[in-house]
């Protein structure tokens, strides 16, 4: 594997619904993130996510050691174990979306490469979690992928792409002073274009209440197809999420993609408030993961779960839409999309 290049050439970040070689997850171990019985509950959630994906595709699961491998194997159905590869790479927390690599493809050669970002534990909030920033390089070393270091602070949950040159993000996160205070929005856009192959950045305003990531976009708006965006929406004007989500919706309706075409913007309901730790937790149905044959949607034991599942199912008629109770997981301030990362498939080329 070559040393990190200055920037990838000819690569783009595919949309999540494009073919994947595997999905990456991390086995939960952090008793501070999930104290007491929450850790066992989150391990069950993680096993359900891995099992649902492994029914149809390969899964890579990072574990700290042999004990972690044994714990995971005990909770995974035997029928899917042949599709789960265990990798001993110690981690502090499970949020591989944010500290792991972003995989990109070269459609001309069919190759896959990795972009490594700087990780500062969500704006230097959690010093004890900063060491997870080393996971990206170690994973790429083992995968022997060409890699590039972008040299900017960015978490994977702060961006979403359509695979055709358009990227969604929020001003609250990428322009926050605790990420890249030395960069202008134009410089950030240039870096995103260089490393992810995008030419149009759609800036939304902010994220949802309780989100300690400073407004990650994967809780508020997601591409579900070319030119189609599923946007979280709160109908109750008294709810603290109403104004910011209404503003995001308005921005999306006025935006265009990289080809200059307007979006179809669909509304996805927000769950009723999920409380814990003395405040509101960042529960959102938008934090779903799109696999090769399935879409895994966080649920919270509410009546709104059904509406959210039906809405997402209408966007993915050819995939199984599976609800996974993420109530315990959201106590750690993340969800299903946060704890997963897609690695695109190597593509044949002429």
Catalytic positions, written as ranges: 338
Burial degree of 350 (CB within 10 A; 0-12, 13-18, 19+): exposed
- Helices 66-75 and 37-54: angle between axes, nearest 10 degrees: 70
Strand partners, 111: 106
Q: d(Cα 73, Cα 78) in Å, to the nearest integer? A: 8
Q: d(Cα 39, Cα 299) in Å, to the nearest integer? A: 18
Is 12:198 a contact under the CB 8 Å cutoff? yes
Strand, coil or helix: 115: strand
Q: d(Cα 104, Cα 138) in Å, to the nearest integer? A: 17
User: Quick one: how many helices (H) and strands (E) in the chain?
Assistant: 10, 18
């Amino acid at each position: 594997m070559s040393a990190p290049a200055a920037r990838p050439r000819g690569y783009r970040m595919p949309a999540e619904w494009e073919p994947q070689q595997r999905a990456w997850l991390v086995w939960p171990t952090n008793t501070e993130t999930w104290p007491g019985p929450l850790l066992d509950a989150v391990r069950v959630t993680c096993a359900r996510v891995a099992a649902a994906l492994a029914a149809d595709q390969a899964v890579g699961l990072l574990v700290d050691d042999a004990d972690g491998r044994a714990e995971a194997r005990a909770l995974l159905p035997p029928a899917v174990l042949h599709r789960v590869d265990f990798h001993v790479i110690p981690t502090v927390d499970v949020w591989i979306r944010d500290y792991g690599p972003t995989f990109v493809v070269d459609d001309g050669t069919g190759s896959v490469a990795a972009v490594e970002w700087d990780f500062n534990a969500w704006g230097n909030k959690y010093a004890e979690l900063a060491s997870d920033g080393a996971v990206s390089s170690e994973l790429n070393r083992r995968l022997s992928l060409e890699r590039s270091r972008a040299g900017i602070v960015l978490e994977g949950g702060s961006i979403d792409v359509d695979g055709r040159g358009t990227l969604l993000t929020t001003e609250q996160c990428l322009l926050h002073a605790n990420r890249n205070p030395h960069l202008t929005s134009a410089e950030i856009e240039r870096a995103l274009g260089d490393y992810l192959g995008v030419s149009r950045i759609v800036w939304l305003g902010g994220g949802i209440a309780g989100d300690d990531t400073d407004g990650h976009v994967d809780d508020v708006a997601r591409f579900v197809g070319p030119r189609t965006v599923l946007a979280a929406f709160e109908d109750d004007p008294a709810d603290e999420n109403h104004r910011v989500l209404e503003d995001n919706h308005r921005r999306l309706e006025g935006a265009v993609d990289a080809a200059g075409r307007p979006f179809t913007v669909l509304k996805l309901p927000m769950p009723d408030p999920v409380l814990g730790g003395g405040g509101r937790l960042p529960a959102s149905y938008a934090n779903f993961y799109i696999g090769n044959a399935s879409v895994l949607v966080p649920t919270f034991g509410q009546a709104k779960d059904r509406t959210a599942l039906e809405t997402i199912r209408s966007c993915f008629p050819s995939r199984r839409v599976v609800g996974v109770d993420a109530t315990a997981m959201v106590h750690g301030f993340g969800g299903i999309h946060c704890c997963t990362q897609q690695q695109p498939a190597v593509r044949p080329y002429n």
